[in-house]
Amino acid sequence: MRTSRRGFLKTAAWASGASAILGQAGCKGIQGFPAGKGINMAGFRAKPLEKVRVGLIGVGSRGSGFVKRLSDIPGVEIKALCDVYEDRVARQVAALTAQGKPAPATYSGSQDVWRKLCESGDIDVVYIVTPWLWHTPMAVYAMQCGKHAAVEVPAAVTVEQCWQLVDTAEAARRHCMLLENCCYGYNELFALNLCRKGVLGDLIHGEAAYIHDGRTLYFEEDAQGRPDAQWRLEWAKQHTGNAYPTHGLGPICQYMDINRGDRMQALTSMSSAPLGLGLAAAAKYGKSSPQAKTAYRLGDMNTTLIRTYRGKTIMVQFNTTSPRPYSRINLISGTQGVLADYPLRVALDPKAHDWLGEKELEALKARHTHPLWDKNGAAAKTDGGHGGMDYLMDLRLSHCLRNGLPLDIDVYDTALWSSLVELSERSVLRGGASLEVPDFTRGGWKTAEPLGIVTV
């Protein structure tokens, strides 16, 4: 299953800079960096940190939000900021110093300046908030430099890259966490609590999605004419399948104890015709424009079906090119009931033929609100970030690092959830053929502890 990274990306000329980094030597000062030896990282506890010293790579629209939130979390220090564009870094430095925070070290001006941030001796964890194809090379290098890696989604775009993350984390004994904020949404943690308390019975099926009308985002143009603004569009020209699987999939995997008592075994995937981007291009640039005449490969709707070792099933959908309301579906079904989202609904035996009424649902939420939201919900809503889920994700990561605790999302989750990018495309291109899903835990899922219900 260790497919060729070069083969998967060979048509992506825009990826050449990022993919070339993977072949370079490790961090300065580390000689003969070992390959992964299968030392399992499930439940891994790193040395507690008195303070979490953060370096951020990528401080555009998404990265600037991380700067704001992390600067508000006690015990976190932003020590370094990096971006290709100097003006982005300058804005975030000004924002921090305006709050009375120390000015961080800055890195900008070239495509590989981020390496200097990773090599800094003043950083414990590197946040990677860049276009997809940079995620793996940056995370690998950060861990080689002795840093924990916190990586935006997806963390990898090939199965080989997923193995690189796993091998490096195991060898370096460093965390590699996917920054999957949706695992910290109110409804998702409410659902997790219901699952852990057995309210839904034995789990049998889940449904996940990322359905988001992103047509304007694909054709977004940088106000300063920067050439890389449409990097998502470049991907859509060359790839099909599910390019963004983790927002819906991550929470379902946590409900079902995937990698912690069960594992994905096989999947099959199909995509619809690619119509949406061509129509959106014609509407913006004209029917005769080069953009409208481009042959986009990304199907408007991708549907992937997964079977687990213990007989559960998962459906994952991806659609960012159709006029549809936002949804992650977030459905989890068991032998005693079902929870479905968008809008939130619950049905329970012996009256599962109807959804609970509004008052019954509110009472259920009052009894089973996840402790993270019960304790930190007000601060999460104040600091914001997708309704507060971003804040809880950052708060929880910093708490685990400061106390030497295992992370909620470990390197095996990071690799598995991201692996659907390539696996879904390979299945689509083979007419929906069934593919084996790699076991990134190397059998560790059989003994790993399930994700618990935590309070902070």
pLDDT at residue 413 greater than cutoff 80? yes
The two tokens of residue 113 are 């300046």
Query: What value does the mean pLDDT take over residues 381-410?
Result: 96
- % pLDDT > 90, the chain: 88
What is the spatial distance between Cα 347 and Cα 352, in angstroms, rounded to a whole number? 5
pLDDT tens per residue across span 219-264: 998 777 776 889 999 999 999 999 999 999 999 999 999 999 999 9
Kindly report which listed range (35-49, 177-191, 358-372, 395-409) carries the lowest average pLDDT score.
35-49
Other C-beta atoms lying within 10 Å of the C-beta of residue 30 = 13
Contact (CB, 8 A) for 289 and 281: yes
Contact (CB, 8 A) for 132 and 62: no
Q: At residue 202, what is the residue type?
A: D
pLDDT at residue 35 in the model: 55
Domain ranges of the chain: 48-179, 183-374+391-446
Backbone CA torsion sign across 210, 318, 253, 396: negative
Q: Identify the bridge partners of residue 332 per DSSP, sorted by sequence position.
A: 206, 339
Query: What value does the mean pLDDT take over residues 358-384?
Result: 95
pLDDT tens per residue across span 193-229: 999 999 999 999 999 999 999 999 999 987 777 768 8
Sheet arrangement for strand 313-319: 345-348, 337-340, 331-334, 203-211, 313-319, 302-308, 264-271, 435-436
pLDDT at residue 167 in the model: 97
- pLDDT tier for residue 100 given thresholds of 50, 70 and 90: very high
pLDDT at residue 37 in the model: 63
> Which DSSP state fits 354?
S
CATH of domain 48-179: 3.40.50.720
What is the spatial distance between Cα 281 and Cα 276, in angstroms, rounded to a whole number? 9
pLDDT at residue 287 in the model: 97
Cα angle vertex 79, ends 78, 81, to 5°?
85
The better pLDDT of the pair 405, 229 is held by 405
- Fold of the CATH domain 183-374+391-446: Dihydrodipicolinate Reductase; domain 2 (3.30.360)
The better pLDDT of the pair 456, 284 is held by 284
pLDDT at residue 222 in the model: 79
pLDDT tens per residue across span 276-291: 999 999 999 999 999 9
Phi, psi torsion values for 292, nearest 5 degrees:
-70, -30
Tokens 């439940």 belong to which residue?
43
Kindly write down the DSSP assignment for every residue of 296-340, as one continuous string: --S-S-EEEEEEETTS-EEEEEEESSSS---B---EEEESSEEEE
Torsion of CA 151, 155, 161, 163, to 10 degrees: 80
pLDDT tens per residue across span 306-331: 999 999 999 999 999 999 999 999 99
Contact (CB, 8 A) for 242 and 420: yes
pLDDT at residue 283 in the model: 97
pTM for this structure?
0.95
Q: Reduced to 3 DSSP states, what percent helix, strand and coil does the chain have, rounded to the nearest 5?
A: 40, 15, 40
Q: What's the mean pLDDT when you consider all of the chain?
A: 93
Cis peptide bond upstream of 350, omega within 30? yes
Cα distances from 178 to residues 6, 267, 272, 344, in angstroms, run: 23, 22, 28, 25
- pLDDT tier for residue 385 given thresholds of 50, 70 and 90: confident
Nearest to 137 by CA among 111, 161, 166: 161
Contact (CB, 8 A) for 238 and 297: yes
pLDDT tens per residue across span 2-59: 444 445 554 444 344 454 444 454 575 444 455 556 689 999 999 999 999 999 999 9
